[in-house]
Chain A
Amino acid sequence: MDLTAMVDLAFLLVTFFMLTTTLNKPKAMDLAMPDKNEQTHEQEPIAASRTMTLLLGDNNRLEWFIGVPGESLTPPTVSGYGKNDLRKVLIEQQQKIKGQTGKDMFVIIKPSDKSVYKNMVDALDEMHIANIQLYAIVDITPVEVDLLKRDHIY
């Protein structure tokens, strides 16, 4: 009996199932939020000089600075999320802070009401790419919203 046609069909189906099953697996990215309730166990405050804040604004733009708002050590800079924007900044600042203090940089991600979910995921993704171990997502403060407004990305 000639099975050629049957084998053809079977392999076609095999190919179809292979392509549809393996490529569609969703991936998960783990995220741990800072504990809100426990005020009791005090953590050591992290020096402002090695804290970088990312303020996520509208239209896929963000603003970053080192230190605390108002008296930041670098002027707040508007940037994008791309390979040549955020990633470059993160790696540069990471090295700079490592050189100055000998410790790792701490990044605080503050999504504003105008940012979208993708921005948050992108920012977290860049943390993984730039190999930054210390980061947290924190609610934005009115002072920082004003900063975003001033730079027209809110």
Chain B
Amino acid sequence: MPRVKIPRKSTAIDMTAMCDVAFLLLTFFILTAKPKSEDPVPVDTPGSISEAPLPEKDLATLTVGKGKVFFGVEGFEIRKELLQQMGTKYNIGFTANELKEFANMNTIGVPVQQIKQYLNMDPEQRKAVAQPGIPSDTTGTSELYNWIHEARIVTKNLDNQELRFTIKGDSKEEYPTLQRIIAIMQKQEVNKFSLITSLRKQ
């Protein structure tokens, strides 16, 4: 029986389709990637088995580390409006430029009286300055109380949604700091919040 002769093919494969797919995937991942927001203090979140993802909108984050508290709200418009409200409350006028700067910031950790000064720094300077954290005591009229209160009002007005609160705490943070901010939130009847954790295996 005569053998069937297999024609030898060239080893060069047409890579065009593969290249297309690869770049399509690449584009997808680049676009879905969210830039990791810088924490003002190093925060090492404790692990838990909880797998609930965080909501993207109407969310306020209280970052806690080294005894300091930082406050941040999601959303460009909400932040702008929030700073304006805080300005009226504390009799500070903010320029359009300052509002824009604030809207671009993820978290804030300076007392209200210093915000103007802080916003007028350039980004390089800002990084060098250690933020002292937002003054928080349980008297009920502390700055943190007002930030939370105003943020809730602003979210309600703009989105007609209840603002959700998350606490992003450092694992080594001592409990009294947490107790204090929980007490501040409970004072305005915010009894439900989420704790940000990293995933841990059982």
Contacts and interface: CB of A to CB of B under 8 A. Distances in A.
Nearest to A125: B48
Given A10-B19, A21-B32, A122 B175 contact: no
Contacts of B175: 56, 111-117, 119-120
A1 B195 CA distance: 53
B129 interface: no
A102 to B, nearest CB: 28
B148 to A, nearest CB: 15
Interface size class of B (residues with CB under 8 A): 35 or more
Interface in B14-29: 15-16, 18-19, 22-23, 25-26, 29
User: What DSSP secondary structure best describes chain A's contact surface?
Assistant: mixed
B169 A29 contact: no
A34 interface: yes
B104 interface: no
Contact of B50 (A18, A20, A56, A125): A125
B196 A17 contact: no
Given A28-B50, A113-B175, A129-B49, A11 B22 contact: yes
A26 B194 CA distance: 11
A139 interface: yes
Contacts of B22: 7, 10-11, 14
A30 interface: yes
B50 A3 contact: no
A139 B33 CA distance: 40
From A6, A29, A116, residue with most partner B Cβ within 10 Å: A29
B88 interface: no
Given A3-B15, A117-B64, A25 B172 contact: no
Contacts of B198: 26-27
Contacts of A25: 53-54
Contacts of A27: 48, 50-54, 196-199
Nearest to A9: B22
A33 B15 contact: no
B26 A28 contact: no
Interface string A27-56: 111111111110000000000000000001
B157 interface: no
A3 B173 contact: no
Interface residues of A, number: 46
A7 B192 contact: no
Given A7-B22, A116-B172, A118-B171, A29 B52 contact: yes
A28 B19 contact: no
Interface string B164-202: 001011111111101100100010010111111111101
A4 interface: yes
Choose among B29, B64, B170, B198 the residue with the greatest number of A CB atoms under 10 Å from its CB.
B29
Interface string A99-126: 0000000000001111111111110110
A134 interface: no
Nearest to B169: A117
Interface of B: 12, 15-16, 18-19, 22-23, 25-26, 29-30, 32-34, 36, 45-54, 64, 166, 168-176, 178-179, 182, 186, 189, 191-200, 202
| In the A-B complex, the 8 residue pairs with the closest CB atoms | A17-B29, A3-B15, A10-B22, A118-B171, A28-B194, A29-B50, A118-B46, A121-B46
